[in-house]
A and B are shown apart, each in its own frame.
Chain A
Amino acid sequence: MSNIGETSDILAQRKTYNAGLSQVSDKSRATWFPLLLLALLTALPALQLVGNYNYLIHLVLYTLCYVVMASGWNILGGYAGYISLGHNVFFAVGGYFAGMVFARLGISTIIIAPIAGLVAAALGYLIGLITLRVRGPSFIISSLALVMIFRIAFENWHFVGGAAGVSLQANDMDVQWAKLPYYYAFLAMAAFALWASYRIRHSKFGLGLRAISKDEVKAESAGIDTRFYKVLACAISAFFVGMAGAVWGEYLTYIRPNIFLVILISVNMVLMCILGGKGTVAGPALGAVLIVAFNEFFVATLGASAVNIMATGVIMAVALMFFPNGIIGTLAKHRKLPRILNWD
């Protein structure tokens, strides 16, 4: 800083450099790809006009349901680093809340879904206040305990039909179009979940959650209200899972503890995030697509036996050997992530 001319030069350079820093991530992003995907998925049901693609519609719908749930799970499990195996509790609570409103008052679960999400979020907040005091294995075990508690509670609660559950009226549309309301509901929720996930990742809140996942003591001493952050993350994450559950019940035309409160559902959420890349925006979506695809492929080729589950497991294990941080996470680390998959 010897003379003034030089100083202002340096300042100007620094300004451009700093401006570049905030755009580093933007440059490598291809926003058009997710939008194109959304457009294609919106148009997909038009196939019904030329043939019977009910099975395909079902598969995409099923995948979208998991995209919503895995993205929701990712907010607590990926960003904040709290692995929960109990998130299907929120799936069940959302499903039962909307399902019961539908059964009693006849209001479609698609309309109720956001409220069901909020109910799940409120529960998530309360549960978070208690269970998020511990981390690591203790937290995982407490989340598992939660599933057992809720399963017993729902199986013995007569108002909601106990273990037999409640059957819900199917809609009276043609079989060809009957799936579509749910299809579009899940598509909208998946888009919303991914958008929210993106927004959170790029907010102070997201930065705080990432700090919590790396070193909670440091995060707290950096001035982050870690307790509130993680409890809020749990609530937001429960919101998405609850919303998905709400529509899922009506889609299946019944609600019953054993469709929501089985460990496989929460394990799926976790595996999708781990395979796709936990803590990334695109990871849970990619993971959901891959795991549903593997499952279908192996069920089709090996039959619906234990063999197909094993085959999916082997694929998972092999994938994680080559992609230890998940597919998106590992590719991004080696700077080999295709632009179309960089949603972060």
Chain B
Amino acid sequence: MLEVKNMSKRFGGIRAVDDCSFTVRKGEITALIGPNGAGKTTAFNCISRTMAPTSGEVWLDGERIDGLRPHQITRRGLSRTFQISRNLADMTVLENVICQSRTEGWRDMFRPALSEAEIAKAMGILDFLGITRIAQEDGSNLSYGQKKLMDLAALLMSDPKIILLDEPAGGVNPTLLEEIVGHIRELNAKGLTVLIVEHNMELIMRLSDRVVVMAQGTVIAEGTPEEVRADPAVLDAYLGGVLEAEE
């Protein structure tokens, strides 16, 4: 479904992403993991075109998307969240969510911002995530966890085929974490493909179908959580260090 081929991104002399290739299969939850500075977020940014990759190709459903602009990629069904929740202040949660609704062409631009159908759809999504009661809150007044949920709601508003989640569990309390995991599972069960960057190893092992491990900008292992867990290269580069630190 999503295929990254030989992607590189350089910042001056630093190769943040170096000849990185991996695939995300349709209907699966794929996790992208790696130690700090491995280039995960940069890879994310290059896929969604928030940054331009220096070289390489990105294919979505047989279409090359690395030359497109971010909004075009979103319209083709690839939506992302940001590591640090980026919400729109002075706009209600409802407006924040509906902002991500699909618009095409001139006619859409000048129709009412919040149509009844969109409000119903947005409220349906907020309901699914259990946050209907904050619909009229200002997006910037939310707690950190609520912002993460709002991001997810906005994401779903664009009817994505694949979602890229950048650390959805970062800084979130354990109860909410379980909630978010449940939502991701449920969405995945409905056929949504997920690519997720995450530091919480326990979560990754539980949640993902496949794991891609990055270190120093390049992919060092790819496989099921069990395979990756047993891979000596991974243990060496990443798991050992992190598990020691976490436990």
Q: Which residues of A contact B (CB under 8 A)?
A: 14-15, 17-19, 21-22, 24, 199-200, 202-208, 210-211, 214-215, 217-227
Q: List 18 A-B contacts (CB under 8 A).
A: A21-B135, A200-B110, A203-B112, A203-B113, A205-B110, A208-B103, A210-B95, A211-B91, A214-B90, A215-B86, A215-B87, A219-B88, A220-B69, A221-B70, A222-B74, A223-B158, A224-B71, A226-B71
The 8 A CB mask of B98-124 against A (1 = contact, 0 = none) is 111011000011111110100110010
Q: How far is the CA of A208 from the CA of B74 in the complex (A)?
A: 15
Q: Are B116 and A222 in contact (CB under 8 A)?
A: no
Q: Are B86 and A202 in contact (CB under 8 A)?
A: no
For residue A3, give the distance in angstroms from its CB to the closest CB of chain B. Answer: 18
Q: Are A202 and B113 in contact (CB under 8 A)?
A: yes
State which size class the interface on B falls in: 35 or more
For residue B156, give the distance in angstroms from its CB to the closest CB of chain A. Answer: 12
Q: Are B74 and A203 in contact (CB under 8 A)?
A: no
For residue A318, give the distance in angstroms from its CB to the closest CB of chain B. Answer: 24
List the B side residues contacting A14 at CB < 8 Å: 123, 127
Q: Are A203 and B69 in contact (CB under 8 A)?
A: no
When A217-B50, A218-B82, A222-B74 are in contact, do A21 and B136 touch as well, CB less than 8 Å?
yes
> Which residues of chain B (58-99) have a CB below 8 Å from chain A?
69-71, 74-75, 79-80, 82, 86-91, 94-95, 98-99
Q: Are B75 and A203 in contact (CB under 8 A)?
A: no
Q: How far is the CA of A205 from the CA of B120 in the complex (A)?
A: 20
Q: Which of A21, A215, A222 contacts B158 (CB 8 A)?
A: A222
Q: Are A223 and B102 in contact (CB under 8 A)?
A: yes
Q: Are A215 and B112 in contact (CB under 8 A)?
A: no
B48 at the interface (CB under 8 A from A): yes
Q: Are B116 and A203 in contact (CB under 8 A)?
A: no
CB closest residue in chain A, given B75: A223
List the A side residues contacting B110 at CB < 8 Å: 199-200, 203-205
